[in-house]
Amino acid sequence: MAKLTKKQKEIKKKYDLDVPYNLADAAKMVKEITSTKFDASVDIDIRLGVDPRKADQMVRGVVTLPHGTGKEVSVLVLCTPDKEQEAKDAGADHVGLDDYIKKIEEGWTEIDVIITMPTVMAKVGKLGRTLGPRGLMPNPKAGTVTMDIGKAVTDVKGGKIDFKVDKFGIIHTSIGKASFTADKIVDNAHEMINTVNKLKPASAKGTYVKSINISSTMSPGVKIDKSSITGL
């Protein structure tokens, strides 16, 4: 059995990570057990009772976190010239079309979100093999294929995130930073959990939300007592 590090021993004295905690206590705990020298991300893992292999049980959606993710999101807008100023005014980091499509074809993917218009999706669609595996492909359901470019950029910059269940039936996403107050982490977690709960597929049988854990970068996961979440 591997020996515990000094930090792990300190954590063991304070908390039992095998026991579920209410969300408020879990948020405080994650902050206490985070020991990175940088501002670590706080992540949430929601294990669902669905079979992602079935199309009618694929859980995917968008959520706007009340306090954002704490991460500076780099946004590329692929649009026609008449929409470029709207994108820039909304705060897009990169704006263009053919020049950026060429850059992506050459391997450039140094952005977090791509927003585009329905009228240019024929061009953007050709990038699917590059963007798809990286989760960068624009999607109408996520609000990243739209004519309302300005609003889409503002939403993403303000904390709107796209999420979907993975092949193991787990939704994993960032809900903030370790520098956030515990209350902000709780607010963001509540919004995320409630959004996922509302997306329960009609065909899903048995327990929908099986377990919830939160953690920070390189910290142990903290189990959440589901009964402490209103609405579950």
Tens digits of residue pLDDT in 209-231:
999 999 998 888 999 999 888 87
Per DSSP, what are the bridge partners of residue 152? none
Q: Which residues, in sequence order, are bridge partners of residue 113?
A: 75
Distance of CA 11 to the CA centre of its chain: 27
Q: Which helix (H) or strand (E) holds 173?
A: strand 170-177
Run of H or E residues at 78: strand 75-78
Q: What is the pLDDT of residue 3?
A: 62
Is 56 domain-assigned?
Answer: yes
Contacts of 165 (CB under 8 A, 6+ apart): 48, 50, 52, 58, 59, 60, 171
Q: Are residues 150 and 165 in the same domain?
A: no
- The band of 2, judged by pLDDT with boundaries at 50, 70 and 90, is low
Q: What is the pLDDT of residues 7-66, one digit of tens each?
A: 666 666 667 778 899 999 999 999 988 888 899 999 999 999 999 999 999 999 989 999
Q: Where does a domain end: 127, 158, 189?
A: 158
Q: Which residue, among 124, 118, 122, 73, has the nearest Cα to 97 in the 3D structure?
A: 124
Same domain? For 140 and 181 the reply is: no
- Give me the chain's average pLDDT, please: 91
- Check residue 7 and give its pLDDT: 65
> Does some domain include residue 15?
no
| DSSP-derived pairing of the beta strands 113-116 and 75-78 | parallel
pLDDT band at 162 (very low <50, low <70, confident <90, very high): confident
Residues 168, 130 share a domain: no
Whether residue 16 is contained in a domain is answered as: no
How do residues 104-115 score in pLDDT, each as one tens digit? 999 999 999 999
CB 170 within 8 A of CB 211: no
Expressed as residue numbers, the domain containing 100 is 75-158
Q: Are residues 79 and 48 in the same domain?
A: no
Taking residue 12's Cβ as centre, other Cβ atoms within 10 Å add up to 12
**Which one, of 71, 42, 68, 23, lies nearest residue 186 by Cα?**
23
The three-class DSSP label of residue 155 is: helix
Q: What is the largest CA-CA distance in the chain?
A: 63
Is residue 60, in this structure, part of any structural domain at all? yes
pTM of structure: 0.79
Distances (CA, A) of 36 to 31, 90, 182: 11, 33, 17
Count the domains in the chain. Answer: 2
User: Do 131 and 183 sit in the same domain of this protein?
Assistant: no
